[in-house]
Amino acid sequence: MSAVSPSGIVRLSAWYDLAVTFPFATPWTARWVAEGLRGVHEWGDLSGHALAVDDPHTMLFMNLMGSIVVIWAIVSIRTPTRDLGIAATCGRLAFSAWMLHALFQGASGVTVGLLVLEILWAVVQGIAVLRPFGTSTAEASASVLGARP
């Protein structure tokens, strides 16, 4: 693994956040994405309940989440600081916890894919921003994984 700066990881994860959440920021694009996720749920005959695209409260919270994460991503792309990376890592862990909770409450199996990506980004970003100063990403990863660099 090559050494990558914490700011580079923060910026890269922010681009991911922007790409994934931008479609949820408006009612029109969120409806399109939600209907697509519903189609995946039905096509895959997945467990749980498909997303309720006609519920105005569901749409409101999708739009709020999308808007806030888009703003956060833009700030993180423009100014990728260690502090923003730490906060984003905490946010990813919180999002992951709520996705697990939703799955246990009967949310669609589509959520599993989003959960896996969120956990992976939390680990990658967490290693990058929480490592001791002067430690490369490769050394920090090896330390977290129990290997010697």
Report pLDDT digits (tens) over 28-66. Answer: 999 999 999 999 999 988 888 888 888 899 999 999 999
Report yes or no on 83 lying in a domain: yes
Return the pLDDT at 101.
97
Report yes or no on 18 lying in a domain: yes
Report yes or no on 1 lying in a domain: no
- Over residues 1-38, the pLDDT tens digits come to 456 788 899 999 999 999 999 999 999 999 999 999 99
Q: How far apart are the C-alpha atoms of 119 and 121, rounded to whole Å? A: 5
As for how many domains the chain has, the answer is 1
- Over residues 50-109, the pLDDT tens digits come to 888 888 999 999 999 999 999 999 999 999 998 999 999 999 999 999 999 999 999 999
Dig out the tokens for 75 from the structure. Answer: 């700030």
Q: Provide, rounded to the nearest whole percent, the portion of the chain with pLDDT above 70.
A: 86
- Per-residue confidence band for 138, with pLDDT thresholds at 50, 70 and 90: low
Burial 66-86 (b: 16+ CB within 10 A, else e): beebbebbeebbeebebebbb
Report yes or no on 74 lying in a domain: yes
**99 half-sphere exposure, CB direction, 13 A CA radius:** 18
Report yes or no on 57 lying in a domain: yes
pTM recorded for the entire structure:
0.81
Q: How far apart are the C-alpha atoms of 9 and 83, rounded to whole Å? A: 12
Residue-number span of the structural domain to which 106 is assigned: 6-145
Backbone angles phi, psi at 108, to 5 degrees: -55, 145
Report yes or no on 52 lying in a domain: yes
